[in-house]
A and B are shown apart, each in its own frame.
Chain A
Amino acid sequence: MTDARDADTPVGAEIETVAGSAAVMGGEPVLATRARSQWWDVWDQFRTHKGAMVGAGIFLAILALVVLGPLFVEMENGIKSNMRARNQPMSLEYPLGTDRLGRDLFARMIAGGRVSLAVGLAAMALSLLLGTLIGVLAGYFKRLDGPLMRLTDLFLALPLLPLLLVMVLLFREPLTAAFGIEVGIFILIVSAIGITSWMQTARIVRGDVLALKEREFVLAARSIGTPARRIVTRHVLPNVLSPIMVSATLGIATAIITESALSFLGLGFPPDFPTWGRLLNDGVPFLELYPGRAFWPGLAISLVVLSINYVGDGLRDALDPRIRGR
């Protein structure tokens, strides 16, 4: 018997030698892992995934820049126009140059990143929650399968943009009145993206749940007397983690891009409100003269999407005990 963890993992207090008695299988002494939190095993496995570590590093760096940036950069420069400093190239004062109204692009990137990341993560979380819930319910409870899947088909068949248009028209006023312009539109956009993008997740999860619930360990749980809700949380959900993880990482990218499309159509945040998608759209007309204006927001979106994809890949491997320790 070999220990499942790598040989160079720091051992010591967690490990004790147990002398096996003759009656016990695997008679010789065995190294035992002692009540060590499973999250340490997950972390050990995650660290071995190079792409995931690089991705996590990049994502955390972008997050830190966006969150801590305002401490070092004068954010006012990204809002106030300064006609004397129009169309500046990259310099020490303006690290990414300025736009045609003389606003600091770097400050606008930081401000836009806060919105874009928040929208992306929140919309992804919402669509994941909806998709997983509906997928699990449809897959596990036979009676709900028909109605819920028809609902999913209905949403898939709806034309997205007219639907969003109607939603924005209907809810923009009450939400901005209730929460203020920024939070109101944030809630509106997140829920609009969330409830129009859960269908793929739901279908994938349903398929996996259908296969899983026929497995013998689910039958074993029923023979123990585990109620359905705990069978779902204990046996079904952990085993559909992989497809959920994949659609989550893809979902962030879609959410960021959908938000930019909405803003472009004038349905999202107000025009003077920077987001990565809007910066990208603003930069496109000047692509030949000032390619940087479209390049930097584009790069930021791509980097976030790519790094989250790798993190998701690494997490999926790390959370699967069959892959862990290989």
Chain B
Amino acid sequence: MTPPLVEVRDLKMHFPIYAGILRKQVGAVKAVDGVSFDILEGETLGLVGESGCGKSTCGRAVLRLYDITDGEIVVDGRAIGGEDQRSLRRMRPTMQMVFQDPQACLNPRMTVGAIIGEPLVEHSGMSRAERTARVEELMDKVGLNRAFINRYPHEFSGGQRQRIGIARALALNPKFIVCDEPIAALDVSIQAQVVNLLEELQDSLGLTYLFISHDLSMVRHIADRVAVMYLGKVVELAPRDALYDAPLHPYTEALLSAVPEPDPAKAGQRKDRIVLQGDVPSPANPPEGCNFCTRCPKVMDVCREIDPEFREVQPGHWAACHLHDTE
């Protein structure tokens, strides 16, 4: 079996909190606290969770946009967890990112050609003419009219801007793309267009995605495997169908029960809606034991004492929950 393209082991990203006159470190926001997963070449791993659970931080940390606190990241056979940013620079073409807000991720003072061409300027050493040709090719690929090459981002619609962002990510023929909620800022009809574009590109270019989203139905559509995050930890990781049909973790059950049912006749009959009580605890001060124990409908005594281990409960289906302890 070929090794996975991306391996993440026990990734931790803590942001220090400073307080007092002497700016002493008094704690840390544990945005990502011990996350492990693999992504196979050519597959899409969906990463879902509610707002503030550390999804985006996790995606950025995997690309080493942050200096991570602990853990190891292997991308394309190269361990990048501890490398400094300068030596990472040559690695950057392999891994790229598509951002959430297509308005904010494009420099308003650069033309589309300059934005898409920036990675080429940095890494390829192409001449100006070669660059223009490549940019036009990329614009064709993402469905933008070549004639727009000298326009500015503010002249485009949200969907078109997201296509510009995707074209920029594709410029250097990456293997791995982190899609950080690429559809969250778009309206529904455009969401479908962008997701279809991402799927087409995956088929034609053999891309691997880490698809971060809080839209469960969209993740069900695009992902091969899905990881569910809660308060900085992955609580469940499984192939898509296994996760959606038979979730093992109570948090996943609650999330899935919140997905609206499009058929009004069926929607009225649903009785299995699980409404979680209370708020997400602060990631600066997570609860003792299982992170979910403060809100879990199936909480047991052991949950408040021991942090459950992230184990393979069924083949390929991982979960961190004491309900599935073996004894």
Contact = CB atoms under 8 A, between A and B. Distances in A.
B63 A223 contact: yes
B171 to A, nearest CB: 9
Contact of A24 (B143, B149, B151): B143
Of A25, A34, A222, A235, most buried by chain B (CB within 10 Å of CB) is A25
Contacts of B324: none
Contact of B106 (A38, A217, A225, A227): A217
Of A223, A227, A235, most buried by chain B (CB within 10 Å of CB) is A223
Nearest to A226: B122
B160 interface: yes
B105 A322 contact: no
Nearest to B95: A223
A220 B63 CA distance: 11
Contacts of B145: 18, 20, 24-26, 30
Contacts of B271: none
A238 interface: yes
Interface in A112-166: none
B322 interface: no
29 contacts: A4-B155, A23-B143, A24-B143, A24-B145, A25-B143, A25-B145, A32-B148, A32-B150, A33-B150, A33-B151, A35-B150, A215-B104, A216-B105, A220-B165, A221-B118, A222-B65, A223-B63, A223-B96, A225-B90, A225-B92, A225-B119, A226-B118, A227-B86, A230-B122, A234-B107, A234-B118, A239-B109, A321-B109, A321-B152
Interface residues of B, number: 43
Contact of A238 (B109, B111, B119, B148): B109
B140 to A, nearest CB: 7
B89 interface: yes
Nearest to A225: B92
Contacts of A24: 140, 143-146
A6 B90 CA distance: 44
Given A30-B147, A224-B92, A219 B122 contact: no
B160 A25 contact: yes
Interface string A203-220: 000000000000111011
Contacts of A322: 108, 152, 154
Contacts of A18: 145-147
A322 B111 CA distance: 11
Given A217-B107, A234-B118, 10 more contacts: A4-B152, A32-B146, A32-B150, A215-B104, A220-B106, A221-B107, A221-B118, A222-B65, A224-B92, A235-B107
Contacts of B275: none
A36 interface: yes
Interface in B155-178: 155, 160, 163, 165, 168
B93 interface: yes
Contact of A224 (B119, B140, B144, B160): B119
A219 B65 contact: yes
Interface of A: 4, 18, 20, 23-26, 30-36, 38, 215-217, 219-227, 230, 234-235, 238-239, 319-322
Contacts, number: 103
A239 B122 contact: no
A322 B153 CA distance: 9
A171 B160 CA distance: 60
Contacts of A223: 63, 65, 92, 96-97
A262 B151 CA distance: 49
Interface in B70-110: 86, 88-90, 92-93, 96-97, 99-101, 104-110
Nearest to A228: B85
Contacts of B90: 225
A226 B171 CA distance: 14
Contacts of B89: 225, 227
A216 B143 contact: no
B221 interface: no
Contacts of B152: 4, 321-322
B99 A225 contact: no
Contacts of A319: 109
A225 B88 contact: yes
A173 to B, nearest CB: 47
Closest 3 CB pairs of A and B: A32-B147, A225-B92, A216-B105
A18 B144 CA distance: 13
Given A24-B140, A321-B152, A225 B93 contact: yes
